[in-house]
Structure 1
């Protein structure tokens, strides 16, 4: 199997109402690297296809095309500091789904971003 270097065998593909808001959110909260941005050819400013890397994992996304509608997701992400990422998410407009807490799997919380995706943010101490 020949998979492009920046891709994995399974990646989420999110169809969003507001791809630019999503781009802004993941850059502010997770320091995402935007690797592809292809606007629609109709000059609407909407995104036909985008890709971002968060700590080596790729997320594909676009502004939802008419025939399909939006498709958001729940995303689990490991970060160095869940408290800091939670703070950044709230500052970037996220709503709290689950407050910060210590669980047997790490320090964790849940937030809903400005396009409807739920992020389960977790850090694990060494």
Structure 2
């Protein structure tokens, strides 16, 4: 199977309640950019794709048939401290304060939609 150049072989697919707020969160915290957003007749998101760096996060608006389904994401970042602070400033809750670990500086927060974001900056050594 050949993966299109604009996708990675594995991408998260989230089912979100209130995708409009989730899009704002992605843009404000991760500087995410919209690649695609298809809407249903009622204006809700049927399928959306937002890029964070080279990665793509796909999601849809939760429905009675497909209830919210949160997930955990691991994101390599330039500054774990800065991204952790942005996540909390935009409604996230702390899961793990920034700290130095064997693999780099890392932190974790949950977004207002129940997803967990584990951010790590590579150790320079």
TM-score (normalised: structure 2): 0.92
Corresponding residue of 1:125 = 123
Does the 8 Å CA contact 1:21/1:114 hold for their aligned counterparts?
Answer: no
Q: Matched residues in 2 for 1:106 and 1:2: separation?
A: 33
The Cα offsets for residues 29-71 of structure 1, whole Å up to 9 and x where unpaired, read as: 1111111111112x2x311110011110111001113212111
Corresponding residue of 1:39 = 39
User: How many residues end up aligned between the 2 structures?
Assistant: 124
Extract unaligned runs of 5+ from structure 2: none
State how 1:1-126 maps to structure 2 within 5 Å: 1-41=1-41, 43=42, 45-126=43-124
Q: Matched residues in 2 for 1:123 and 1:13: separation?
A: 24
Extract unaligned runs of 5+ from structure 1: none
Q: Matched residues in 2 for 1:103 and 1:2: separation?
A: 36
CA shift, 1:10, in A, is: 1.4
SS in 2 for 1:76: strand
SS in 2 for 1:99: strand
SS in 1 for 2:82: helix
- Give every structure 1 segment of 4 or more consecutive aligned residues whose post-TM-superposition deviation is greater than 4 Å: none
Q: Matched residues in 1 for 2:27 and 2:123: separation?
A: 24
CA shift, 1:101, in A, is: 1.1
SS in 1 for 2:112: coil
